[in-house]
Structure 1
Amino acid sequence: MIEIKNVSKTFGSIKALDDVSFRVEDGDVFGVIGQNGAGKSTLFRCIMNFFDDYDGSISYDEKNIKDVPLEKIGFLPEERSLSPKKTIEEEIRYFAKLNQMTHIPDEDLQRWFDRFEIKGKLTDKIKSLSKGNQQKVQLLAAVIYKPEFVILDEPLSGLDPYNIRLLEDIIKELNAMGMTILFSSHNMENVEALCNKLVMIKNGQIVLNGTPQEIRNSFPRDKVLIETDKDLLPIIDGKAKSYTKNGKFWNVYLNDPEDSKMIYEDINKNLGFVSQFSQAAPSLNEIFAKVVESHE
Structure 2
Amino acid sequence: MLKVNNVTKSFGDVTALDHVTFEVGDGELFGVIGQNGAGKSTLFRCIMDFYSKYDGEITYNDKKFSKLALEKIGFLPEERSLDPKRKVEDQIRYFAKLNKMKFLSDTKLKEWFDYFEIDGKLSSKIKELSKGNQQKVQLLCSLIYKPEFVILDEPFSGLDPYNIRLLQSIIKDINKEGTTIMFSSHNMENVESLCNKLIMLKKGKIVLNGSPSEIRNSYERKKLIVESDKDLFFLNDENIEILSQDGNMWTFILKDEDYAKVIFRKIVDEIGFVPYFDQSPPSLNEIFARKVKENV
TM-score if structure 2 supplies the norm length? Answer: 0.97
- Which residue of the partner structure matches residue 130 of structure 1? 130
Q: Distance in 2 between matches of 1:115 and 1:189?
A: 23
Q: Distance in 2 between matches of 1:243 and 1:159?
A: 36
Give the SS at the match of 1:63. Answer: coil
- Which residue of the partner structure matches residue 286 of structure 1? 286
- Structure 2 unaligned spans of 5+: none
Q: Distance in 1 between matches of 2:276 and 2:119?
A: 44
CA RMSD of aligned residues (A): 1.1
> Does structure 1 residue 248 correspond to structure 2 residue 237?
no
Q: Distance in 1 between matches of 2:80 and 2:294?
A: 33
> Does structure 1 residue 264 correspond to structure 2 residue 264?
yes
Q: After superposition, give the CA deviation of every residue in 1:187-224 in whole Å (9 maximum; x if it has no partner).
A: 11111111001111111011111111111110100100
Structure 1 position 161, deviation (Å): 1.1
Q: After superposition, give the CA deviation of every residue in 1:16-60 in whole Å (9 maximum; x if it has no partner).
A: 000001111110000011111110000000011110211000001
- Which residue of the partner structure matches residue 46 of structure 1? 46
> Does structure 1 residue 169 correspond to structure 2 residue 169?
yes
Structure 1 position 245, deviation (Å): 2.2
Q: Bigger shift: 134-143 or 258-267?
A: 258-267
Structure 1 position 237, deviation (Å): 2.8
- Which residue of the partner structure matches residue 108 of structure 2? 108
Q: Distance in 1 between matches of 2:93 and 2:152?
A: 20
Q: Distance in 1 between matches of 2:6 and 2:61?
A: 17
Structure 1 position 65, deviation (Å): 2.1
Q: Distance in 2 between matches of 1:207 and 1:192?
A: 17
- Which residue of the partner structure matches residue 238 of structure 1? 238
> Does structure 1 residue 222 correspond to structure 2 residue 207?
no
Contact 1:201 1:208 in 2 (8 A): yes
Q: Distance in 2 between matches of 1:45 and 1:64?
A: 13
Structure 1 position 272, deviation (Å): 2.4
Q: Bigger shift: 247-256 or 130-139?
A: 247-256
Q: Distance in 2 between matches of 1:11 and 1:62?
A: 27
Give the SS at the match of 1:198. Answer: strand
Distance 1:202 1:147, change over 3 A: same
The total of aligned residue pairs comes to 296
Q: After superposition, give the CA deviation of every residue in 1:79-129 in whole Å (9 maximum; x if it has no partner).
A: 112111001001111111111124211100000000000011100000000
Q: Bigger shift: 264-273 or 178-187?
A: 264-273
Structure 1 position 290, deviation (Å): 1.2
For 2:123, the aligned partner's letter is T
For 1:238, the aligned partner's letter is E
Q: Distance in 1 between matches of 2:273 and 2:228?
A: 8
> Does structure 1 residue 140 correspond to structure 2 residue 140?
yes
- Which residue of the partner structure matches residue 88 of structure 1? 88
Q: Distance in 2 between matches of 1:134 and 1:58?
A: 31
Q: Distance in 1 between matches of 2:265 and 2:291?
A: 32
Q: Distance in 2 between matches of 1:236 and 1:293?
A: 28
Q: Distance in 2 between matches of 1:295 and 1:194?
A: 28
Q: Distance in 1 between matches of 2:251 and 2:90?
A: 53
- Which residue of the partner structure matches residue 97 of structure 1? 97
Contact 2:236 2:243 in 1 (8 A): no
Q: Distance in 1 between matches of 2:47 and 2:248?
A: 49
Report the identity percentage: 60
Matched ranges for 1:23-102 at <5 A: 23-102=23-102
Q: Distance in 2 between matches of 1:250 and 1:293?
A: 26
Structure 1 position 241, deviation (Å): 1.6
For 1:160, the aligned partner's letter is D
Q: Bigger shift: 140-149 or 257-266?
A: 257-266
Distance 1:237 1:43, change over 3 A: same
Q: After superposition, give the CA deviation of every residue in 1:259-287 in whole Å (9 maximum; x if it has no partner).
A: 11111122122232222111111111111
